[in-house]
Chain A
Amino acid sequence: QQQVKQSPQSLIVQKGGISIINCAYENTAFDYFPWYQQFPGKGPALLIAIRPDVSEKKEGRFTISFNKSAKQFSLHIMDSQPGDSATYFCAASPNAGNMLTFGGGTRLMVKP
């Protein structure tokens, strides 16, 4: 079964701290790995994405680390802010189409 396992389910971080969310996959056909942020009552918003040809990608306070051999990838949010409090989803998609398989989500709370 094509699965993406995400951990932790919930995370509490102090303002200014680093939030780290991890994902693991099994399907080697996956070659596109985006992260989405979702606020209550809204659709998921694309944050940052990576492909397997690079091991790290950084955009502002958000960094994806990718380990192809371990089939794992993670999202780091530096200098976490209360406005970052949301649910984060990792996802993966094969090259054959735009069919995202999502992780279970991580509810992040950043305390002021």
Chain B
Amino acid sequence: KAGVTQTPRYLIKTRGQQVTLSCSPISGHRSVSWYQQTPGQGLQFLFEYFSETQRNKGNFPGRFSGRQFSNSRSEMNVSTLELGDSALYLCASSSQGPGSEQYFGPGTRLTVT
């Protein structure tokens, strides 16, 4: 089976712009979670989608949003970018319900200038 894929892999944006990142989960997986990884804050949970519904949300401002499509693919959007949004954004997929194994994609490296 193909793994989790994320596009684009690298992105450079300017402060104030918005960005959309895409994630395709492992075939058959219905849960997609998003995480932000930075040197200062480490790995932090953003949100989880299951069957097109947001099931859980982390402690991030409303500028961070996401959605999931009927084929389980997911997108996350960050509006009004700030310098502090520069990070590696990771997507993880899992097959079952809560507490199941999560498999991560390679991430999208976002740089905000």
Contact = CB atoms under 8 A, between A and B. Distances in A.
A65 to B, nearest CB: 20
B42 A96 contact: no
- Most chain B beta carbons < 10 A, residue from A41, A93, A98: A98
B102 A101 contact: no
A43 B104 contact: yes
Interface residues of B, number: 26
A32 B99 contact: yes
A91 B50 CA distance: 20
B99 A93 contact: yes
Interface string B74-113: 0000000000000000101010001111111111000000
A32 B99 CA distance: 6
28 contacts: A34-B102, A43-B4, A43-B90, A43-B104, A43-B105, A44-B90, A46-B103, A46-B104, A91-B43, A93-B98, A94-B99, A95-B98, A97-B48, A98-B31, A98-B33, A98-B92, A98-B98, A98-B99, A98-B102, A99-B33, A99-B48, A99-B56, A100-B33, A100-B45, A100-B102, A102-B42, A102-B43, A105-B43
